[in-house]
Structure 1
């Protein structure tokens, strides 16, 4: 039936299924438009008012001033052709599904699952083949068990993917915030010092820019690496939703299992964040290295920090304006600056108090 219909829907020139648009001649014979164009060239019919002979019945066909555009289009044949192609696709899909469940060696349905080799097999494989002494189960039972395990792993991989994405985004935000705070610290402290510090400020700004760019580039590479769990998740989701049958699912499940286990058990790089952060303390110590802060502080320093509205309002409850009551100005100044700009709770302030004053006096 399908072969007979294919013959009716085939162009007599190219002998393949019609390629729309399909044109019908006055003699009722149908041709692909592109095939008719070749016929006109072959018969030397190049004028819009010309004529040519039907390749089948040799009847003279007149173009009547419009060329090949004036020929009728056979919408009925095109409609039937479209439905015929849809049916062919369905038949091919069914054949593919059937073949995927057939044993390549014996041509029988694979209705058993070899638990030893972890692959679907047919009854002959178990009775007489290489799986004769292996443990087996029904494909339907193995399918249900593996599918449930697959769904569980699917959720785990999705969670892994989401955690990786959120962890990376958090590190990038913290890195950006640290770079912004460090820039504010450099600008604020540097402005309160003598003009000789400007060159060092420029160096540090450049270093900070490079430091931030390098770390951000590494973070972006890390972000790209975290796409792997997401891609695996999509593969698993697609297989779960679109697998053809239990055999095909079990075969694909076997291929993906190693990736799934590595993804679930692997440790993400974003879980080691210190190397992706910027240290405000490091830049501050470089900025004032070799400088005696006592010689540079003045009454305007307090006014300068107080004029930074947002920063002052944020920190005023924790860090009041600079009042040097009883403490060495350089030590108190350094402590107050770091309190303003360092957001980490694990800042080692005692270490700075023991080392910074000594360095500042040299």
Structure 2
């Protein structure tokens, strides 16, 4: 048996990670932004199947956790961000974006409210910048912002029960992803007969870091197995679900990733960047668009994230996420120029190898321009 006390270390960037899941049999540590948590436990394909079946959980203790307390917390967050959150009830989940003046995405926030505290779940590297920015925007409002990353770890699940899940004010701290259905005020650009998000039953559950050793020990008795972040990433890609760390760069606007689907309310009041959101949606087109790529796996070569996407001799985009899916094979998400022919087979250079990639349209080239503005005939 492990010690019941927490086992912590600091990942690159300063946020703590729990190490109990890395001590489990077969654990292989991830690298890059996911350093400090397990990439897999020996077989990512089996781990994907377990996640889908609701019998696995993923250690995401490298994620950040902020809290906002005070009676003005929801109206304050509502006034600054893209989603309508002022009416959240205890136990409700939502997703919202903080945008720059020109509509570029600066922060992605997963919100869970317990009636007293708004819990903000964010990617690990974004926790401190977001906390500092929120703290600078309090002015005279009755709100307090705190970083609780050192106290709470995040665990991902597609239906499995998480042992020792934390509670606050009588609410289990489980954020349920709104991605499977378009909330009121949102808009979907993707036009498939059945959106793959219908199978994305994803939640993020908070656990007190002091209880992570107990969670790791209780997995077998609870009929649950550990899965690595590679398995979760493959399922996220298949659900066309954008990630702040992976898909967003300094130019990204929500329309390019179909993020109006879950994180933007198109008829709420003003907020920073709202003018760009409305203008592109009603009158224009996003300059880039998200696609899913089905990769030729004959050479057993996976492209690297950030790699070029090429049409002919022209670079038309970049790979943002890549994985091997247990049913679909090698797949990727990429952001490409809007004008890229949706029917064209794209190429991805990987060293001396060229990997062919067939597109599956997520955001169509026609996305936007939904306002029915009558054309005024010219006077001769």
Same fold at TM > 0.5: no
Q: Larger Cα Rg: Structure 1 or Structure 2? A: 1
Larger % of helix: which? 1
TM-score normalised by structure 2 residue count = 0.18
Larger % of strand: which? 2
Q: Which of the pair has the greater relative contact order for Cα pairs under 8 Å at 6+ separation? A: 2
